């Protein structure tokens, strides 16, 4: 049985992602082809392979895997995100993706079902990342690829704290962005060995980011001022910079992948 904190977090997920779904689906920064290509390359699927994208959101990764010829399941906990995913798939002429509503902690599939298991930009919303990662490994067949993508907190504790404080204010469904070392340890602890790694950044203007956010107290202007004030010392560890009357900031991110040993 879930305790009160778990239920509150589930409500925050549903609230935030239901409201964010349309803008999230249209975000060029999140769904750019070059970022998708990193994940698709790491998954290495081909015609006839089975793949699942957990916490699939508006479906860009699932659709990209399907375009490689894979049979794909996209699973997400938020119906509004799945609605956006279906729209995306229809526009691309992809009718064979199985969209399912469900939890990353209990995906309803047997062990060793998939040739690739992916999850992108979701782990910072999870209260128990190791449990979710164990599910990813459980679903992967021998020789399959497990691919995890997420934003990274700074290795400097003060910057990591400031960044996560800001993100929990901006998006109350955020639990914590973890360090690269934390994500790497998930692979090592699962017995997958040293993961292959590709790092990249997702850059936003602060005004665009905040306009699409639903902060805890609704005070977008105060949140924008916090980001603007971080420029002088890079207090958030996001390389914030003044640019054309705005501020740009970059979510440092990584794709980690490994092959499940036969």
The model's pTM: 0.91
| Percent of the chain whose predicted confidence (pLDDT) is above 90 | 82
pLDDT tens-digit readout, 86-106:
999 999 999 889 999 999 999
pLDDT tens-digit readout, 165-181:
999 999 999 999 999 99
Sign of CA dihedral 191, 121, 176, 99: negative
Cβ-contact 254, 121 below 8 angstroms: no
How many whole angstroms separate alpha carbon 73 and alpha carbon 65?
A: 10
Cα separation values, 230 from 6, 139, 170, Å? 32, 41, 15
Question: Which of the pair, 258 or 28, is modelled with greater confidence?
Answer: 258
Domains of the chain: 4-153+173-201+253-259 (3.40.50.150)
* Neighbour-count burial for 172-210, b at 16+ CB within 10 Å, e otherwise: bbbbbbbbbebbbebbeebebeebeebeebbebbbeebb
pLDDT category at 146 given cuts 50, 70, 90 is very high
Cβ-contact 73, 98 below 8 angstroms: yes
* pLDDT at residue 32 in the model: 82
| Percent of the chain whose predicted confidence (pLDDT) is above 70 | 89
How many whole angstroms separate alpha carbon 51 and alpha carbon 73?
A: 6
* pLDDT at residue 31 in the model: 72
Task: Indicate if the pLDDT at residue 12 is higher than 60.
Answer: no
Task: Indicate if the pLDDT at residue 218 is higher than 60.
Answer: yes
* pLDDT at residue 95 in the model: 87
Q: CA torsion angle for 139, 141, 143, 147 (degrees, to 10)? A: -20
Task: Indicate if the pLDDT at residue 187 is higher than 80.
Answer: yes
Task: Indicate if the pLDDT at residue 7 is higher than 80.
Answer: no
How many whole angstroms separate alpha carbon 239 and alpha carbon 204?
A: 11
């Amino acid at each position: 049985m879930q305790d009160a904190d778990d239920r509150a977090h589930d409500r925050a997920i549903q609230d935030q992602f239901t409201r964010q779904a349309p803008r999230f689906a249209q975000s060029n920064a999140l769904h750019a082809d070059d970022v998708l290509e990193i994940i698709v390359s790491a998954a290495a699927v081909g015609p006839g392979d089975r793949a699942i994208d957990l916490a699939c959101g508006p479906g860009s990764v699932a659709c990209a895997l399907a375009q490689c010829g894979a049979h794909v399941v996209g699973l997400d906990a938020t119906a509004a995100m799945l609605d956006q995913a279906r729209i995306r798939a229809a526009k691309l002429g992809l009718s064979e993706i199985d969209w399912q509503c469900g939890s990353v902690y209990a995906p309803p599939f047997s062990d060793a079902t998939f040739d690739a298991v992916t999850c992108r930009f979701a782990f910072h919303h999870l209260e128990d990342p190791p449990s979710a990662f164990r599910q990813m490994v459980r679903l992967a067949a021998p020789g399959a690829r497990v691919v995890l993508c997420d934003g990274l907190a700074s290795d400097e504790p003060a910057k990591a704290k400031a960044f996560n404080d800001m993100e929990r204010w901006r998006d109350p469904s955020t639990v914590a962005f973890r360090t690269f070392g934390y994500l790497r340890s998930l692979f090592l602890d699962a017995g997958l060995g040293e993961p292959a790694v590709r790092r990249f950044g997702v850059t936003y203007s602060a005004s665009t980011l905040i306009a699409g956010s639903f902060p805890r107290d609704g005070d977008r202007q105060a949140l924008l001022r916090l980001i603007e004030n971080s420029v002088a010392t890079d207090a958030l560890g996001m390389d914030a910079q003044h640019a054309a009357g705005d501020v740009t900031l970059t979510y440092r991110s990584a794709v980690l992948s490994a092959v499940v040993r036969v």
